[in-house]
């Protein structure tokens, strides 16, 4: 078992990547502290883990609130005695997120509170717990848009995921000598409720699919398998990365560096 005797806390565990990761991590031997704002969805995840023979408990938290973030870490240590893996996965994509002109301040602030502040607070309270366990792995969910931007305007979301990626890199450097690895999982477009609520017609789906070399959307379960690698000791020399799992979409675009003129001697 790849996570035997480890304790993993997963935010956003009630659905999507978080739910699939909770199920997979538990099947690989982890004790899972499932965290979500939606108590019913979170309870369903915990029940499914237990039905499959795994170990899990639930913690209710709004990751953008310091008291809640502190409590979820305390719940993990009080229930399971330690923390080895922190998966800061919870995030939102607001329906009214648009370009710089069209995005309202309230949408910007809410997106940053959940997607950026939520990751910071998870690390603020989670890193001391990882230290108490002698080290561990932090996985922060970013996105392929942190690397290349989004063709459909969603500026607050894109900016938030860029912040998660840069935060991840700095945390990785700061805490490397403590045995704490920090990586950003960068999913491509996924067949999840979060994206499909926007791509709600065949034409909209096709306009996105044409840019993905593999010709399909990713699945939450595929992201969970990538997160499992980052959580496990198999990735013991991996830190500070943008771990991109995107069907090739970022590889399909030429980067500015690749076409920049050679510097003069």
pLDDT digits (tens, 9 = 90+) for 35-54: 999 999 999 999 999 999 99
Residue range 230-241: mean pLDDT, rounded: 98
Where does the pLDDT of residue 149 fall: very low under 50, low under 70, confident under 90, or very high at 90 and above? confident
Where does the pLDDT of residue 264 fall: very low under 50, low under 70, confident under 90, or very high at 90 and above? very low
Residue range 204-220: mean pLDDT, rounded: 84
CA distance linking residue 59 with residue 76, whole number of Å: 8
CA distance linking residue 189 with residue 148, whole number of Å: 13
Lowest mean per-residue pLDDT among 106-110, 134-138, 186-190: 186-190
Query: Is 229 considered catalytic here?
Result: no
**Helix intervals (H) in the chain:** 16-27, 39-51, 66-80, 105-112, 118-132, 145-148, 155-175, 193-196, 202-209, 220-231, 256-259
| CATH number at 7-243 | 3.40.50.720
Residue range 80-106: mean pLDDT, rounded: 96
And the tokens for 22? 């909770």
Where does the pLDDT of residue 255 fall: very low under 50, low under 70, confident under 90, or very high at 90 and above? low
Paired strand residues for 187: 245
Catalytic residue (choose from 157, 198, 229, 237):
157
**Between 68 and 192, where is the model more confident?**
68
pLDDT tops 80 at residue 159: yes
pLDDT score for 260: 42
pLDDT tops 70 at residue 223: yes
pLDDT tops 70 at residue 133: yes
Mean per-residue pLDDT of the chain: 92
pLDDT score for 45: 98
């Amino acid at each position: 078992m790849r996570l035997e005797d480890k304790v993993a806390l997963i935010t956003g565990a009630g659905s999507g990547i978080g739910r699939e990761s909770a199920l997979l991590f538990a099947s690989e031997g982890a004790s899972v502290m499932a965290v979500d704002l939606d108590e019913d969805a979170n309870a369903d995840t915990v029940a499914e883990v237990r039905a499959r023979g795994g170990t899990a408990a639930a913690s209710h938290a709004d990751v953008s609130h310091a008291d809640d973030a502190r409590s979820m870490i305390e719940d993990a240590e009080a229930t399971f005695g330690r923390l080895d893996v922190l998966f800061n996965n919870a995030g939102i994509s607001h329906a009214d997120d648009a370009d710089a002109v069209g995005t309202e301040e309230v949408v910007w602030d809410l997106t940053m509170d959940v997607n950026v502040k939520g990751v910071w607070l998870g690390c603020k309270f989670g890193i001391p717990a990882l230290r108490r366990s002698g080290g561990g792995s932090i996985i922060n969910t970013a996105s392929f848009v942190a690397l290349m931007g989004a063709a459909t305007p969603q500026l607050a979301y894109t900016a938030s995921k860029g912040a998660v990626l840069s935060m991840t890199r700095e945390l990785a450097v700061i805490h490397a000598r403590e045995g704490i690895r920090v990586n950003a999982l960068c999913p491509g477009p996924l067949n999840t409720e979060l994206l499909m609520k926007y791509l709600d017609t065949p034409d909209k789906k096709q306009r996105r699919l044409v840019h993905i070399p593999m010709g399909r959307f990713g699945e939450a379960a595929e992201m969970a398998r990538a997160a499992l690698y980052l959580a496990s000791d198999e990735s013991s020399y991996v830190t500070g990365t943008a771990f991109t799992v995107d069907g090739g979409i970022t590889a399909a675009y030429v980067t500015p560096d690749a076409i920049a003129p050679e510097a003069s001697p």
